[in-house]
Structure 1
Amino acid sequence: MLDVRRMQVLRAVVTSGSVTAAARNLGYTPSAVSQQVAALEKQAGVALLERVGRGVQPTAAGRLLTEHAAAIGKQVAEAETALADLRAGRTGHLSIRYFATAGAALVAPALARLRRDHPGVRVDLKLIDPEDPLPEVKQGRADLAIVVRPGGGHSEGIRLVHLLDDPYRAVLPRGHRLAVKRVLDLADLADEPWVGNEWPAGPCLEVVLDACAAAGFSPNFVVESEDYATAQGFVAAGLGISLMPRMGLGNRHPGVVVRKVRKPQPIRPICAAVRESSPAEPALRGLLDALREAAAQ
């Protein structure tokens, strides 16, 4: 196999016209340059230089290797530039997984800031409801996922970065007897028919069920829905009441009223999940900073 460094020494000799000049340009001794060329000729099995007057010129094989050495040098320089851009966060690729209600409130403003600060970074954005995105993060198919993790939950190889706590609200039909209260005790809802808003069941339902258990009851779900908008429609129609996270109530149905809940107040913790082994690349750090900023606002 030809030695790339020796090929670059040969290129220096050919472009400068002599071993002495190449040695001076490279900071080597003439004997060291001659030794490198001789070793390359041995690898190639053919003469690479021929003496002409006081200088040297390449043989056909020497010209061939010099041309390839120039191409390799250009590729190495391009690789070094690309690597420097990646290290500085000027380029790169981030794969993000998120759930629906985190999209508008967190992901959209975070990506706007990322685009401003790191315009050369490509983003692969994918909605993951109702799948658990952590396996994708663990296996390297995603760099970051927005997740709900009740109780802080731990997964080996995953680092959870807390972004915000999203409190639940009671959603009642307009004109419901409990709508006269500004704040409801969770136990006030014990005997009501309930409209579910997460199917299939996931961590958000776990938050609701744990809070209801702490208040001493288990909710009676009479209708199941897959999303908050549809669930609000069922509530507005008088089919039951519901608990929904504040982030899920951005588009409020005109036929419902929303009230705070206490004793206890259900809260879903929203986190960014990244691999513990993820390198501290500027683009990923920038995305985490942008998510924290969006959560704070």
Structure 2
Amino acid sequence: MTLDDLRVFVAVCRAGSLSAAARELSCTQSAVSQHVRRLEKEVGTGLLERHPRGVVPTPAGHILRAAAADGLGTLDQALRRLDELARGESGSVRVTTGATSVRHFMAAAIVAFRRTHPLVGLEFQTVSSSRGCFEALAAHDLDLAWITLGAPERGIELRPVVELPWVLAVREDDALAPGPSVGPEELRGSGRLILPPVRSTSRAHLDERFAELGLPGGPASGPGTADWDTAVHLAELGLGHALVPDLPGLRDPGGASAPGLTLLPVPCLPPLRVGWAVRRWSALSPAARAFADTVGHTCPGRTPTPG
């Protein structure tokens, strides 16, 4: 059993097929098959179930994949730090997050971190979902993932940083705009809600609460969108009511929303928690821990309650 065998096996599980893993790894499908067969021979049992449209791990494969992904990620971090020490470099901090998170949550932290760590590089990899962040952590030598917090993932440690109350973004000439807040009846009556994508962590939070409020499956929605800034912009254009977290940057320093837009509190929805996900905090480099702490100290918003 070699590290290459394990890397290929994890790639196959992630890609869902031998051919897709071969394309990802820039090798032949037969080479991928050889790695998997060698592992299966060594462990004495099948690791993959073959189906017409790809492969899925067997119960034994799930066990090996979880252990291999965790171990390879930690090893990649260690090798990178050793390489930086050998070359006498100060290293870099690699972060994966959504398309708009840097602007909303990290702008002040980046400026502060550059002042205190001028020789450390900052690299950002954009993904479209928290699930994508988890997969990127498992697949690459990334340090930190900034995500919407949901259920814990095996081999991933979570650290809440900020809680964001929900608001409904509507045009200032909308019938709901004069109200002080939005309750279940207004949500139930809105046929133009702009919501997060169905499979996103934030949408799962909303759907759970909608069910508790007697709105099974969530209310009828307007145009779909993959990021909060686009949702707010669609509301500004009059295409619907955008249900979004009260993100840093949605208001000016005085607390006012953008001209032509009204942000109405939605107190019936629990705040959304966002923060860091890592493979292991104890394995982070000092620079990565410093950047994570800097974001926590400078990020506007409400500190999460324990639990």
Q: TM-score range by the shorter chain?
A: 0.5 to 0.7
2: CA distance, partners of 1:108 / 1:233: 21
Give the total of aligned pairs.
211
Report what 2:62 is aligned to: none
Report what 2:147 is aligned to: 147
1: CA distance, partners of 2:106 / 2:263: 25
Is 1:257 the counterpart of 2:262? The answer is yes
How far the C-alpha of 1:188 sits from its partner, in A, is 2.2
- Contact in 2 for aligned 1:145/1:272 (Cα 8 Å): yes
2: CA distance, partners of 1:232 / 1:158: 31
1:193-245: per-residue Cα shift (whole Å, max 9, x none)? 12324346411222222222222112101322333344334434444322111
1:67-109: per-residue Cα shift (whole Å, max 9, x none)? xxxxxxxxxxxxx9x74997xxx81222111113321232222
How far the C-alpha of 1:121 sits from its partner, in A, is 1.3
Report what 2:202 is aligned to: 204
Report what 2:55 is aligned to: none
SS in 2 for 1:221: coil
Q: How does 1:41-80 map to 2 (within 5 A)?
A: none
Q: Which has the higher strand share?
A: 1
Report what 2:132 is aligned to: 132
Report what 1:289 is aligned to: 293
- Contact in 1 for aligned 2:99/2:227 (Cα 8 Å): no
1:174 pairs with one of 169, 172, 175 = 172
Q: How does 1:9-158 map to 2 (within 5 A)?
A: 83=85, 91-130=90-129, 132-150=132-150, 153-158=151-156
Label 1:171 to 1:144 Cα distance change in 2 as closer, same or farther (>3 A): same
Label 1:277 to 1:293 Cα distance change in 2 as closer, same or farther (>3 A): closer
Aligned sequence identity (%): 21
1:266-288: per-residue Cα shift (whole Å, max 9, x none)? 42210111112652432022112
Label 1:227 to 1:156 Cα distance change in 2 as closer, same or farther (>3 A): closer
Root mean square deviation of aligned Cα: 2.8
- Contact in 2 for aligned 1:193/1:220 (Cα 8 Å): yes
Label 1:280 to 1:127 Cα distance change in 2 as closer, same or farther (>3 A): closer
In structure 1, give the amino acid aligned to 2:190. Answer: E
Label 1:175 to 1:278 Cα distance change in 2 as closer, same or farther (>3 A): same
Is 1:273 the counterpart of 2:277? The answer is yes
SS in 1 for 2:269: coil
How far the C-alpha of 1:258 sits from its partner, in A, is 1.2
2: CA distance, partners of 1:228 / 1:279: 32
